[in-house]
């Protein structure tokens, strides 16, 4: 097996995936029709043509507009199942999936409608394909902290059905420190916490996410290479970064994949993982990310093994589960 075949075939986890960002244009149009919504794009092709982003905000504007077609429990079920079907094809055995309740509750969709739809999709994938999933509730950082605290209050009756908390949306001008009180309350639930940091924002935001929010992983974090002491810290403290290569190129964090900082992160011993972020918008799913990275860097089986192993080790499942999955990964490698 060559290195690319191994990378695609081996069991792995996806740890950075916004379920709303897996809404393909075809499904968006189908849901708009099913829900009788006047969707502001003429065709699937016209919508895809709008996927021409200059930065994070230009993407987020479209991402929130498209989320408007998600109205019913069935819609969230269909969205989840469609993503998991694609992920399975790339041998993702476990996915920790972000959802943005504020995007939906602000439109009058009850929190429980969103949650039940996503859970039902996940249950179908578990039953049909044995896939494991976790749900991570993400707060929208462009909104005031008080609104995020209200969202947490709304989520509390369902806390046993949620597996962690995250922070996403517009990064610049919304530092982690804005959410100190919110994350203190999140951590008090005993669930793990993560935050997007160092995607467009500076390395200082990564330090803040670690020191103030006390996150268990950093989402993106690719700008850490600008701060040598931070890189050292991430490596020695085994802090995982959920890196999203195609996303970073599509949002112009890097002009070309060859300029991506993944090789520097790996060389420094940082626990980096590969993920798809918003696959419907950024040119693809886990496998597409792997192919794009391999085309740029031509890594060997050892490096791809490290990346897959990092993804399983950095997941929020019990240690025994990780050990069992790593044994599966080792068996796959033995055949490579």
Write the CA distances from 16 to 108, 143, 281, 301, integer angstroms.
Answer: 26, 21, 14, 23
Write the CA distances from 218 to 18, 156, 319, integer angstroms.
Answer: 15, 24, 20
Binding mask 222-251 for ligand HPA (x = CB under 6 A): -------------------------x----
User: Does the footprint of ligand HPA cover residue 199 (CB under 6 A)?
Assistant: yes
For Zn ion, the binding residue among 207, 277, 281, 308 (CB under 5 A) is: 277
User: Does the footprint of ligand HPA cover residue 119 (CB under 6 A)?
Assistant: no
User: Which of 199, 200, 226, 320 is labelled catalytic?
Assistant: 199
Cite the DSSP H helix spans in the chain: 3-9, 25-34, 44-49, 56-66, 73-89, 101-105, 111-129, 145-155, 180-188, 203-211, 228-236, 245-250, 262-267, 279-282, 286-297, 301-313, 319-334
Nearest to 218 by CA among 237, 229, 318: 237
- As beta bridge partners, residue 96 has 134
Q: Quick check: is 199 catalytic?
A: yes
What minimum distance in Å lies between the beta carbon of 278 and ligand HPA? Answer: 5
From Zn ion, ligand HPA, none, interface partner of 96 (C-beta below 5 to 8 A by class):
none
Binding mask 5-24 for ligand HPA (x = CB under 6 A): -------------x--x---
Q: Which CB atom, from 10 or from 17, has the smaller least distance to ligand HPA?
A: 17
User: Does the footprint of ligand HPA cover residue 217 (CB under 6 A)?
Assistant: no
Range in contact with Zn ion (rule: CB under 5 A) among 23-31, 152-160, 227-235, 274-282: 274-282
The DSSP symbol for 191 reads: -
From ligand HPA, Zn ion, none, interface partner of 261 (C-beta below 5 to 8 A by class):
none
User: Does the footprint of Zn ion cover residue 73 (CB under 5 A)?
Assistant: no
Residues 268-307 that bind ligand HPA (CB under 6 A): 277-278
| Maximal C-alpha separation, the chain | 54
How far is Cα 256 from Cα 246, in angstroms, rounded to an integer? 10
Dihedral sign for Cα atoms in the order 194, 198, 201, 206: positive
From Zn ion, ligand HPA, none, interface partner of 56 (C-beta below 5 to 8 A by class):
ligand HPA
CB 91 within 8 A of CB 11: yes
Residues 167-186 that bind ligand HPA (CB under 6 A): 168-169
- As beta bridge partners, residue 97 has 17, 135
Structure tokens at 182: 């919110």
Write the CA distances from 134 to 95, 98, 164, integer angstroms.
Answer: 6, 9, 8
User: Does the footprint of ligand HPA cover residue 90 (CB under 6 A)?
Assistant: no
What minimum distance in Å lies between the beta carbon of 44 and ligand HPA? Answer: 21
Residues 28-57 that bind ligand HPA (CB under 6 A): 56
Closest residue to Zn ion, based on beta-carbon distance = 277
Range in contact with Zn ion (rule: CB under 5 A) among 82-90, 133-141, 224-232, 276-284: 276-284
From Zn ion, ligand HPA, none, interface partner of 221 (C-beta below 5 to 8 A by class):
none
Q: Give me the active site residues, please.
A: 199
Residues that bind ligand HPA (CB under 6 A): 18, 21, 56, 63, 168-169, 196, 199, 247, 277-278
Residues that bind Zn ion (CB under 5 A): 277
């Amino acid at each position: 097996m060559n290195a690319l075949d191994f990378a695609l075939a081996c069991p792995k986890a996806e740890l950075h995936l916004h379920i709303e960002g897996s809404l393909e244009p075809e499904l968006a149009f189908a849901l708009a029709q099913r829900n009788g919504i006047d969707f502001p794009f003429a065709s699937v092709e016209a919508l895809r043509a709008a996927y021409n982003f200059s930065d994070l905000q230009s993407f987020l504007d479209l991402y929130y507009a498209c989320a408007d077609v998600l109205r019913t429990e069935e819609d969230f079920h269909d969205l989840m199942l469609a993503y998991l079907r694609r992920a399975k094809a790339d041998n993702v055995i476990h996915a920790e999936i972000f959802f943005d309740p504020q995007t939906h509750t602000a439109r009058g969709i009850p929190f429980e409608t969103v949650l039940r739809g996503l859970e039902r999709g996940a249950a179908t994938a578990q039953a049909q394909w044995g896939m494991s999933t976790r749900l991570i509730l993400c707060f929208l950082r462009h909104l005031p902290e008080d609104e995020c605290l209200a969202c947490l209050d709304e989520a509390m009756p369902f806390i046993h059905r949620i597996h962690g908390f995250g922070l996403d949306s517009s990064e610049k001008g919304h530092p982690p420190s804005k959410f100190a009180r919110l994350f203190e309350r999140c951590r008090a639930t005993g669930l793990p916490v993560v935050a997007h940091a160092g995607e467009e924002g500076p390395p200082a935001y990564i330090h803040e996410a670690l020191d103030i929010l006390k996150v268990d992983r950093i989402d993106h974090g690719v700008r850490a290479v600008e701060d040598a002491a931070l890189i050292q810290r991430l490596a020695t403290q085994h802090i995982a970064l959920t890196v999203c290569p195609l996303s970073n190129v599509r949002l112009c964090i890097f002009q070309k994949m060859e300029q991506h900082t993944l090789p520097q992160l790996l060389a420094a011993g940082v626990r980096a993982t590969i993920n798809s972020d918003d696959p419907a918008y950024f040119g693809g799913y886990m496998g597409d990310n792997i192919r794009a990275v391999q085309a740029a860097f031509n890594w060997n089986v050892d490096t791809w093994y490290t990346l897959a192993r990092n993804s399983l080790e950095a997941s929020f499942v019990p240690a025994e589960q990780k050990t069992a999955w790593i044994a599966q990964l080792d068996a796959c490698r033995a055949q490579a």
